[in-house]
A and B are shown apart, each in its own frame.
Chain A
Amino acid sequence: MIWTIARKELLDHFRSAKFLVSVALTVVLAAISTGVSGQDFRQRQQDFLDAQREMKGDGVEYVLLRAPQVLSTLINGKDRILGNKAQVSHLRMPAGTTGYMGEDWSLHTVVVSGFAAVDFAFLVRVVLSLVVLFLAYNAVSEEKSNGTLRLVLANPVARHEILVGKFIGGIAVVGTALLAATAISLLLIALDPKVALGGSDWVRIAGIVAFSALYLVFFYVLGLFVSVRVDRPSTALMVVLQVWIVLVVLYPNLATMVAASVRPLPSAQEIAQEKAALFEPHRAEFDAVSNRFEAAVMSNKEDSEASQRWKELWILQQELNWRVDEEQRRLQNEQASLAKQLSLLSPAVLYDRVVTSYAQTDLVDYDRFMGGVYRVWKQLADRALAPRRARGTEAEPTLPTFVAATTSWQDRFVASAPEWTILLLLSVLLFVAAYVAFLRKDAR
Chain B
Amino acid sequence: MTVLGKELLERLQTVQFFSLLAVSLVVFGCGAIGFVASYPPERAFYAAKVAEADRQPSTIGTNLYRPPQLLRFVADGGDRYRPFEYRLGTMGQISPMSSRPGNQRLLDVPEMDWAFIVKVIFSFYAVLLGFDAVAGERESGTLTLVLANPIRRGRLLASKFGAILLSALIPLCAGLLLHLTIIGSFEPQVLMPSQLLRIASAGALMVTYVSIFALLSVLCSALIRRSSLVLLVLLGAWVVLAVIVPNVSGIVSQAFARVPTELQFARMVDPMIKEQVWGRIREIQSRVSSGAITSADEVRKEADRAYEAGARALEEHHEAYRRAIREQEATARRWSRLSPAALLQYALEGVAMTGSNSEEAFRREAIDYSHVYDAYVEKKVGKLVRSSGYRFGTGIIFKGAYLDVSSPVPTEYSGDQSDFPHFALPRLSFPEALRNALGDLVGLLSWNIVLAVLALLAFGRMDVR
Cβ of A250 and Cβ of B27 under 8 Å apart? yes
Residues on the A chain within 8 Å of B207, using CB: none
Q: Which of B30, B235, B248, B355 contacts A254 (CB 8 A)?
A: B30
Chain B residue nearest to A116 (CB atoms) is: B247
Residues on the B chain within 8 Å of A54, using CB: 267
CB interface residues, A 358-383, toward B, < 8 Å:
362-363
CB interface residues, B 101-143, toward A, < 8 Å:
101, 103-110, 112, 120-121, 124, 128, 131-132, 136
CB within 8 Å for A336 and B106 given contacts A127-B239, A242-B16 = yes
Q: Is the interface of A mostly helix, strand, loop or mixed?
A: helix
A162 to chain B, nearest CB (A): 21
Q: Which of B27, B77, B231, B261 contacts A234 (CB 8 A)?
A: B231
B40 to chain A, nearest CB (A): 12
Q: How far is the CA of A39 from the CA of B257 in the complex (A)?
A: 12
Is A61 part of the binding interface, using a Cβ–Cβ cutoff of 8 Å? no
Cβ of B101 and Cβ of A265 under 8 Å apart? yes
Cβ of B49 and Cβ of A269 under 8 Å apart? yes
Cβ of B251 and Cβ of A101 under 8 Å apart? no
Q: Which of B26, B77, B246, B261 contacts A115 (CB 8 A)?
A: B246
Is A158 part of the binding interface, using a Cβ–Cβ cutoff of 8 Å? no
Q: Which of A21, A102, A114, A254 contacts B329 (CB 8 A)?
A: A114
CB within 8 Å for A269 and B45 given contacts A111-B329, A112-B253, A130-B235 = yes
Chain B residue nearest to A133 (CB atoms) is: B235
A357 to chain B, nearest CB (A): 12
CB within 8 Å for A267 and B128 given contacts A250-B27, A339-B107 = no
Chain A interface extent, by class: 35 or more
CB within 8 Å for A100 and B81 given contacts A21-B236, A37-B251 = no
Residues on the A chain within 8 Å of B194, using CB: none
Is A50 part of the binding interface, using a Cβ–Cβ cutoff of 8 Å? yes
CB within 8 Å for A104 and B99 given contacts A116-B247, A260-B106, A352-B107 = yes
Residues on the B chain within 8 Å of A113, using CB: 78, 81
Residues on the A chain within 8 Å of B41, using CB: 264, 267
Residues on the B chain within 8 Å of A335, using CB: 103, 105-106
Is A294 part of the binding interface, using a Cβ–Cβ cutoff of 8 Å? no
Q: How far is the CA of A316 from the CA of B239 in the complex (A)?
A: 55
Residues on the A chain within 8 Å of B397, using CB: none
A147 to chain B, nearest CB (A): 16
Cβ of B250 and Cβ of A110 under 8 Å apart? no
Q: How far is the CA of A78 from the CA of B103 in the complex (A)?
A: 11
CB within 8 Å for A104 and B98 given contacts A110-B82, A245-B121 = yes
Q: Which of A44, A114, A362 contacts B250 (CB 8 A)?
A: A114
Q: Which of A39, A114, A134, A269 contacts B255 (CB 8 A)?
A: A39
CB within 8 Å for A237 and B228 given contacts A112-B250, A264-B41 = yes
Q: Which of B19, B81, B250, B262 contacts A99 (CB 8 A)?
A: B262
B331 to chain A, nearest CB (A): 9
Is A126 part of the binding interface, using a Cβ–Cβ cutoff of 8 Å? yes
Q: Which of B15, B33, B105, B262 contacts A100 (CB 8 A)?
A: B262
Is B336 part of the binding interface, using a Cβ–Cβ cutoff of 8 Å? yes
Query: Digit string of B262-282 for contact with A (CB within 8 Å is 1, else 0)?
Result: 111111000000000000000
CB interface residues, A 254-283, toward B, < 8 Å:
254, 256-257, 259-261, 264-265, 267-269, 271
Is A107 part of the binding interface, using a Cβ–Cβ cutoff of 8 Å? yes
Is A288 part of the binding interface, using a Cβ–Cβ cutoff of 8 Å? no
B95 to chain A, nearest CB (A): 9
Q: Is the interface of B mostly helix, strand, loop or mixed?
A: helix
A392 to chain B, nearest CB (A): 24
Chain A residue nearest to B84 (CB atoms) is: A268
Q: How far is the CA of A335 from the CA of B48 in the complex (A)?
A: 25
Residues on the A chain within 8 Å of B110, using CB: 116, 253
CB within 8 Å for A114 and B81 given contacts A36-B255, A127-B239 = yes
Chain B residue nearest to A78 (CB atoms) is: B104
Query: Digit string of B430-453 for contact with A (CB within 8 Å is 1, else 0)?
Result: 000000000000000000000000
Cβ of A259 and Cβ of B106 under 8 Å apart? yes
Q: How far is the CA of A245 from the CA of B99 in the complex (A)?
A: 31
A102 to chain B, nearest CB (A): 8
Residues on the B chain within 8 Å of A353, using CB: 107
B421 to chain A, nearest CB (A): 24
Q: How far is the CA of A37 from the CA of B251 in the complex (A)?
A: 8
Chain B interface extent, by class: 35 or more
Cβ of B248 and Cβ of A32 under 8 Å apart? yes
Chain B residue nearest to A267 (CB atoms) is: B45
Is A209 part of the binding interface, using a Cβ–Cβ cutoff of 8 Å? no
Query: Digit string of B218-253 for contact with A (CB within 8 Å is 1, else 0)?
Result: 000000000110011001100100011011111111
B34 to chain A, nearest CB (A): 5
Stretch from B302-310, B320-328, B379-387 contacting the other chain = B320-328
Is A332 part of the binding interface, using a Cβ–Cβ cutoff of 8 Å? yes
Chain A residue nearest to B78 (CB atoms) is: A114
Residues on the A chain within 8 Å of B108, using CB: 78, 116-117
Q: Which of A18, A99, A111 contacts B332 (CB 8 A)?
A: A111
Is A201 part of the binding interface, using a Cβ–Cβ cutoff of 8 Å? no
Residues on the A chain within 8 Å of B23, using CB: 242, 245-246, 250
Residues on the A chain within 8 Å of B26, using CB: 250, 254
Q: Which of A108, A234, A252, A343 contacts B325 (CB 8 A)?
A: A108
Cβ of B263 and Cβ of A115 under 8 Å apart? no
Chain A residue nearest to B227 (CB atoms) is: A234
Q: How far is the CA of A118 from the CA of B252 in the complex (A)?
A: 10
Cβ of B251 and Cβ of A36 under 8 Å apart? yes
Chain A residue nearest to B129 (CB atoms) is: A238
Cβ of A265 and Cβ of B103 under 8 Å apart? yes
Residues on the A chain within 8 Å of B45, using CB: 267-269
Is A333 part of the binding interface, using a Cβ–Cβ cutoff of 8 Å? yes
Q: How far is the CA of A333 from the CA of B262 in the complex (A)?
A: 29
Residues on the B chain within 8 Å of A269, using CB: 45, 48-49
Query: Digit string of B25-49 for contact with A (CB within 8 Å is 1, else 0)?
Result: 0110010011001100110010011
Is B461 part of the binding interface, using a Cβ–Cβ cutoff of 8 Å? no
Cβ of A118 and Cβ of B244 under 8 Å apart? yes
Cβ of B236 and Cβ of A118 under 8 Å apart? no
Residues on the B chain within 8 Å of A99, using CB: 262
Q: How far is the CA of A303 from the CA of B310 in the complex (A)?
A: 34
Chain B residue nearest to A268 (CB atoms) is: B101
CB within 8 Å for A363 and B232 given contacts A101-B262, A110-B82, A257-B112 = no
Residues on the A chain within 8 Å of B325, using CB: 107-108, 110-111
Is B254 part of the binding interface, using a Cβ–Cβ cutoff of 8 Å? yes
Most A CB within 10 A of own CB, among B112, B252, B262, B267: B262
Residues on the B chain within 8 Å of A101, using CB: 262, 265-266, 318, 321
Is A233 part of the binding interface, using a Cβ–Cβ cutoff of 8 Å? yes
Is B100 part of the binding interface, using a Cβ–Cβ cutoff of 8 Å? yes
Leading 6 A-B pairs by shortest Cβ distance: A115-B250, A114-B78, A336-B105, A47-B263, A112-B250, A100-B266
- In the complex, besides A115-B247, A238-B15, A268-B100, 6 extra interface pairs with C-beta distance below 8 angstroms are A78-B104, A81-B104, A114-B81, A250-B121, A254-B27, A260-B106
- What are 16 A-to-B residue pairs whose CB atoms are below 8 Å? A101-B321, A102-B266, A108-B261, A110-B325, A111-B325, A114-B250, A115-B250, A130-B239, A235-B15, A237-B231, A256-B107, A256-B109, A260-B103, A261-B38, A267-B101, A332-B103
Residues of A within 8 A of B (CB): 18, 21, 25, 29, 32-33, 35-37, 39-40, 43-44, 47, 50-51, 54, 78, 81-82, 99-108, 110-118, 122, 126-127, 130, 134, 138, 142, 233-235, 237-239, 241-242, 245-246, 249-250, 252-254, 256-257, 259-261, 264-265, 267-269, 271, 328, 332-333, 335-336, 339, 343, 349, 352-353, 362-363
